[in-house]
Amino acid sequence: MLRNRSIAVLVALAALAAPATASAAEEVIKPSRAEGKALVFRLHLPPESNVRQARLEGKAGELTLRRGAVERAVEQSRLRIRLSRAERKRIGAAPKLVIVIDPSASPDTPAAPGAAAASPPPALPIDVSEATEPPKPPEPRPGPVPEDCDRFASPAGSDAGDGSRSEPFRSSQRLVDSLAPGEVGCLDAGTYHEHILAIRHGGSPEQRVVLRSTPGQRALLTGQVWIAESADYVTVALVDHDATHEPSDPRPSPVVNGDHALLYGMDVWSDNGVCFYLGDREWGIARATEIRHNRIHDCGQPGMNRRHGIYLAQAVGTVIEDNAIYDNPDRGIQFYPNADDTIVRHNVIVGNGEGVIFSGDYGDASSGNVVEENVIADSQLRHDVEAWWPEGNPVGEENVVRRNCIWGGNFGEIETPEVGFTATANVIAPPQFADPASGDLRIAEGSRCSSLLDGVNP
């Protein structure tokens, strides 16, 4: 699972050995929220801060963190830490993050002559997942998300305002409703909750409607995000999205029923449901959706068989590219019952219940889908690639799985016989990520998969 490929941060049940000097300053930070099975800390420190020490402090003990990992998180203003059940029990609930900053010394400055250097206690390697912005390579093309904002929302705003920088709206719904084609609505850092954030009006190919975080900030949307059939050419980008819904009414999110939607640079998870859900016979088929450069993970609880990262229900011409799709209890990507002409390329699809499934039902069958140049590995329940066609239902045609790096499914890599899909030129081998300790999930030089997957850079 990706949690076992996450950035390994050494921790120990003691304070760091080097004592802080008088010039050092301690920053004590409470977790801003739980994200799936992880804790997220918002860091408001200058990017050039010299981190002397970093640790988690709880009522039951403390865990020290590797300095380099925290320094990387400071640059992105966000640290995400995943602890196992045993480590949570060891440290206690709701630990605080303590960062000791030395304003005068470089992290590489040697100790003063004669300074005593105590030996730290043995470090225990545990799985702590540090992730900052959604993992993505450089922009695939110029300007996919505009930088200039036309209207704003802020937790300190009012829906009676005019949406200007000086009088921002309070709610994400008020902001969305105010946007005309070609306009960009920006969310200041903070949490915006709507039972359903309904985007009902779209734009055109040259004049998209855009919802994004304010540049340099990161907003959190909670509840359901819905792009209605009436809303074509909508972009939702560069936001965090906790798609967990009310326990009595779990809903997928984001849901797309419009055409030409772009979902970009998002970090999406849910405690009780599917995440991305595309298309519906009644509410609208999703055409030409683009899902690019997102982190999609921890979507629902195990044992439901309906908790997927991306659920292509009634969709045509979808592009799924350069995403990290991991730790979802069931499918990473599900084509069911009627998803056609999809391109799935340059994604890391790791540690899900199953990786990719082609399927159909109710007289429909998913066809013409291409899955190429991805890492698909470590599926926990079944195969990395498989298909399911109900008896008496049509079987999909021209589904292709080619030039992927596939490895380690619980039932094997590729289901055989290959029914409704063809697998060719795939490499069955461990992917060998370039530097998982620093979050680099590109394929390492020398890997058997490197020649196939040179473009993968989630």
141 falls within a domain: no
Q: Are residues 71 and 171 in the same domain?
A: no
Q: Are residues 301 and 408 in the same domain?
A: yes
What pLDDT sits at residue 47? 63
83 falls within a domain: yes
Q: Are residues 230 and 86 in the same domain?
A: no
CA nearest neighbour of 294 among 244, 237, 333: 237
Cross-strand partners of 277:
255, 311
Q: Are residues 222 and 301 in the same domain?
A: yes
Separation CA 271–CA 264 (nearest Å): 21
pLDDT for 266 beyond 60: yes
Cross-strand partners of 221:
192, 241
Neighbour-count burial for 90-108, b at 16+ CB within 10 Å, e otherwise: bbeeebebbbbbbeeeeee
337 falls within a domain: yes
Q: Are residues 320 and 435 in the same domain?
A: yes
Beta strands in 201-321 (DSSP E): 209-213, 219-227, 234-237, 240-242, 255-256, 262-264, 267-270, 276-278, 286-287, 290-292, 295-299, 310-316, 319-321
What pLDDT sits at residue 375? 93
Domain boundary among 68, 86, 104: 104
Domain boundary among 47, 73, 104: 104
- pLDDT tens track for 153-162: 999 999 999 9
Separation CA 27–CA 19 (nearest Å): 15
Q: Are residues 298 and 208 in the same domain?
A: yes
- Decide the pairing of beta strands 8-11 and 124-127: antiparallel
pLDDT for 289 beyond 60: yes
Q: Are residues 81 and 179 in the same domain?
A: no
What pLDDT sits at residue 10? 24
Dig out the tokens for 360 from the structure. Answer: 């159909």
What pLDDT sits at residue 265? 95
Dig out the tokens for 45 from the structure. Answer: 């420190």
Lowest mean pLDDT segment, chosen from 13-22, 345-354, 387-396, 434-443: 13-22
Domain range for 295 is 151-443
451 falls within a domain: no
Cross-strand partners of 375:
348, 405
pLDDT for 145 beyond 80: yes
Give the mean model confidence (pLDDT) for residues 347-360: 95
Q: Are residues 264 and 390 in the same domain?
A: yes
